[in-house]
Amino acid sequence: MVICGIDNVTLFQGRTQAERIAYEIFSDNFTTTMDSTIDKLNKEFKTLAGLTIAQGQIRLMPAIKKNIRAFIQWCREEIRMGQDPTTTPFPVVDAAKVKLLRVVPHNTDKNCHE
């Protein structure tokens, strides 16, 4: 989660924000990404942001949320290909591309086939 840009310094009850998100959203397990949905993830983000500071509030910037969504997609692809996500570093630099591959429809422009 640190590579997605989540704070790994500030502690709340002995855990950093990165550790808390890994545990609270993903149960410290890569396979939970297979069951994650955007709606569920957004609800989790909203819940964490809605906490008070004394309760351990975590507010994430939009770019970090995008990185987490790309991380989920990357994990799914790794698992589907039979690879262990713990052995391959998440390519955060390519996070926007990972997400875009799932959003951009196939280009049917005739000029691209010439």
Domains of the chain, by residue range, sit at: 2-106
Report DSSP state, residue 59: -
Q: Which residues contact 72 (CB under 8 A, 6 or more apart)?
A: 33, 36, 41
**15-16/11-12 β-pairing:** antiparallel
List Cα–Cα distances, 66 to 4, 31, 41, 106, 110, in angstroms. 9, 19, 11, 22, 32
Residue reference for tokens 């951009």: 104
Question: Over the chain (114 residues), what is each successive 10-residue block's mean pLDDT?
Answer: 87 92 92 88 94 94 91 90 90 67 47 46
Reference 58, options 84, 32, 102, 25; nearest CA is 25
The pLDDT value recorded for residue 102 is 52
* pLDDT on residue 98: 59
